[in-house]
Amino acid sequence: MSARVPAARRLSAFLILFLLLAAAQADERKPSHAAIASAYPLATAAGMEILDQGGNAFDAAIAVSAALAVVEPKASSLGAGGFFLLHRSSDGVNVFVDAREVAPLAATRDMFLDEAGQVVKGRSTATALAAGIPGEVAGWGHLASRYGRLPLRQSLAPAIRIARQGFPLYAQLRDEIAAKRAQFEKTPDGRRTFLPHGDVPPLGYVLRLPDFARTLEMISRAGVDSFYHGSFARKLVDGVRKLDGIWSLEDLAGYQVTERKPLIGEYRGARIVTAPPPSSGGIALIDGLNILSGYELGKLDSVTRKHVIIEALRRVHRDRAEYLGDPDFVDIPLDRLLSPYYAAGQRASIRLDRAMPSDMLPGYTSAAGGGRQTTHFSVLDREGNRVAGTVTLNAWFGTALMVTGTGVILNNEMDDFAIKPGAPNMYQLVGADANAVAPRKRPLSSMTPTFIESDRGLMILGSPGGSFIPTMVILGTLNWLSGASAADVVAAPRFHHQYQPDAVFAEDGAFTGEERAALEQRGHSIRGWPATIGNMQVITWDYAGDQVDAASDPRRAGGSLVK
């Protein structure tokens, strides 16, 4: 039969089929509006400026994170690292850009211990030894060259402008500078930049970051390699060595951004696209939702609903300490941890009427956490490209040590390693061999940039908050899937359990008086929520009515725009 179809007709049929297939691939929905949510309005505006100039979501992500490095310098920074979860609408590709810091080549397993094998207080948080080799700048280069449409020069321009012209100091940043004052005192550049006139500047003081601007201008001109090689790299290494750090030129020259496949999960028909290791967050999110998928959460009374969520959190955090670390160094039983069968086993040990003491779970320990500083932003452009980015110096301003003449603040990401098995880090997390320090290894993270896709539409979300991050993303997902708006998702009161300490952390309003009493009756011990935790930035796109929305956590100074 087909032999009788004229060749020209066959060819055109093939051509049509090919075009249809290509169109189907590219035929992703396009939102009517772009949106950006970030931790500070000037950074959100910087991203919008770049979208207005014809940039895509990836260019805007560079502009937002570079501007955050100016206006929220405690979190995003030239000296920071982070994760960027991307979705490219032209071919539907999801990719996880891992620009996490790595341990220097001279790092050793016991570098934070004294001769007696005890943890030296502050060494992994407040000294130059705490600093991993930064990846955020390399991440910008990667985004610009592989995914962006504009030259890096253009995407970095708003951040350079703000750093040169300055911006008025706002209350939260002032508090954060005050909290790190003693560390800023330790370097001339720290004093000059953040303690001008010898003191924490007053509210409204126009804060300028000229050294930072100069370094960004160098990167604009000469590309991100100029940060990792040559005279600037030498200046960085010399500066770090003067502060008794161990960075080398080889460390900087050898830094590599890694592209990883995002983890994909499913929860009641919704698709979860999230962070793979070296984040622990995506596993916690997918396994937590797998456990919860065995319950009709909407039909449970509110106490039982919150109880089973707490019990799921207890179980997913137990596994973190045991199994997780940099996947380039350790074998992670990913298939098992993400399997519905595994979750069914975890679920089987949950009693509806009683809290299970964490000690009754097998194996290793993890302990109380709390975030200090990190920042998340979400971007959606009108083509449907999207970015969920979470970047961090770890604690507020990391070590808050500044390297002379570079604008670089040293992170303290090395504290995210298990610096000694069983010794809690600053988030009270402990870990095992999987997360021990080793040269060029990435410390385990909790950052969980995520996309949720369902019949309702799309949500882009994430938050800072150390070990509380995966919980916040789980609660945000459950809320959105039950119909909450972007504003409701970021505002909803939160509760958290991380296996050890065996306690529920709860914000005011997370439980009513009766719920609290009933949960205590079931055996939960309830504590207050650490004030600094959480700064969620959410974009939602409801397909019905093509409604794009963005919201910033009302707990902090964020800004969101839809345009």
Number of residues interacting with ligand DON: please give it, by CB under 6 A: 15
Question: Active site includes 108?
Answer: no
Task: Report the alpha-carbon distance of residue 218 to residue 137 in Å, rounded.
Answer: 12
> To the nearest whole angstrom, how small is the minimum distance from the Cβ of residue 512 to ligand DON?
27
- Total Cβ atoms within 10 A of residue 547: 16
Binding ligand DON by CB under 6 A: which of 65, 394, 471, 500?
394
Q: Which stretch binds ligand DON (CB under 6 A): 17-25, 37-45, 305-313, 443-451?
A: 443-451
47 vs 278, beta carbon nearer ligand DON: 278
* CA dihedral angle for residue 306, residue 307, residue 311, residue 312, rounded to 10 degrees: -30
337 vs 414, beta carbon nearer ligand DON: 414
Tokens of 488: 């409701």
Task: Report the alpha-carbon distance of residue 485 to residue 538 in Å, rounded.
Answer: 10
> To the nearest whole angstrom, how small is the minimum distance from the Cβ of residue 243 to ligand DON?
20
Binding ligand DON by CB under 6 A: which of 135, 384, 449, 466?
466
Task: Report the alpha-carbon distance of residue 199 to residue 560 in Å, rounded.
Answer: 32
> To the nearest whole angstrom, how small is the minimum distance from the Cβ of residue 144 to ligand DON?
23
With 0-12 / 13-18 / 19 or more C-beta atoms within 10 angstroms meaning exposed / middle / buried, residue 331 is exposed
Which residue of the set 193, 215, 374, 532 is catalytic? 374
DSSP conformational letter for 130: G
381 vs 416, beta carbon nearer ligand DON: 416
CA-derived radius of gyration, the chain: 24
47 vs 465, beta carbon nearer ligand DON: 465
Binding ligand DON by CB under 6 A: which of 47, 148, 464, 558?
464
Binders of ligand DON among residues 399 to 438 (CB under 6 A) are: 413, 416
Helices (H), 134-229: 136-146, 152-165, 171-179, 181-184, 188-194, 210-222, 225-228
Binding ligand DON by CB under 6 A: which of 320, 372, 497, 556?
372
> To the nearest whole angstrom, how small is the minimum distance from the Cβ of residue 458 to ligand DON?
24
Q: Which stretch binds ligand DON (CB under 6 A): 114-122, 254-262, 295-303, 460-468?
A: 460-468
Binding ligand DON by CB under 6 A: which of 134, 276, 407, 465?
465
125 vs 445, beta carbon nearer ligand DON: 445
Binding ligand DON by CB under 6 A: which of 183, 274, 374, 471?
374
Task: Report the alpha-carbon distance of residue 516 to residue 522 in Å, rounded.
Answer: 10
Binding ligand DON by CB under 6 A: which of 77, 373, 435, 552?
373
Binding ligand DON by CB under 6 A: which of 392, 450, 477, 537?
392
- Is 419 within 8 Å of 356 (Cβ atoms)? no
Cβ-Cβ contacts under 8 Å for 469 (sequence gap 6 or more):
281, 371, 390, 446, 447, 448, 462, 463
With CB atoms as reference, the residue minimizing the distance to ligand DON is 371
Closest by Cα among 418, 417, 414, 508 to 131: 414
158 vs 462, beta carbon nearer ligand DON: 462
Q: Which stretch binds ligand DON (CB under 6 A): 158-166, 266-274, 332-340, 368-376?
A: 368-376
73: contact with ligand DON by CB under 6 A? no
With 0-12 / 13-18 / 19 or more C-beta atoms within 10 angstroms meaning exposed / middle / buried, residue 106 is middle
Task: Report the alpha-carbon distance of residue 558 to residue 78 in Å, rounded.
Answer: 21
Q: Which stretch binds ligand DON (CB under 6 A): 62-70, 103-111, 179-187, 367-375?
A: 367-375
* CA dihedral angle for residue 456, residue 458, residue 461, residue 467, rounded to 10 degrees: 60
- Is 438 within 8 Å of 449 (Cβ atoms)? no
Task: Report the alpha-carbon distance of residue 158 to residue 165 in Å, rounded.
Answer: 10
Instruction: Report the run of H or E that residue 231 belongs to, with start and end.
Output: helix 230-242
Binding ligand DON by CB under 6 A: which of 447, 481, 492, 504?
447
Binding ligand DON by CB under 6 A: which of 187, 193, 358, 445?
445
> To the nearest whole angstrom, how small is the minimum distance from the Cβ of residue 359 to ligand DON?
25
Task: Report the alpha-carbon distance of residue 127 to residue 40 in Å, rounded.
Answer: 28
With 0-12 / 13-18 / 19 or more C-beta atoms within 10 angstroms meaning exposed / middle / buried, residue 382 is middle
Q: Which stretch binds ligand DON (CB under 6 A): 303-311, 331-339, 341-349, 445-453?
A: 445-453
Q: Which stretch binds ligand DON (CB under 6 A): 29-37, 118-126, 227-235, 366-374?
A: 366-374
Closest by Cα among 415, 409, 245, 443 to 328: 443
85 vs 458, beta carbon nearer ligand DON: 85
Question: What is the contact surface with ligand DON in residues (CB under 6 A)?
Answer: 371-374, 392, 394, 413, 416, 445-447, 464-466, 469
- List residues with catalytic annotation: 374
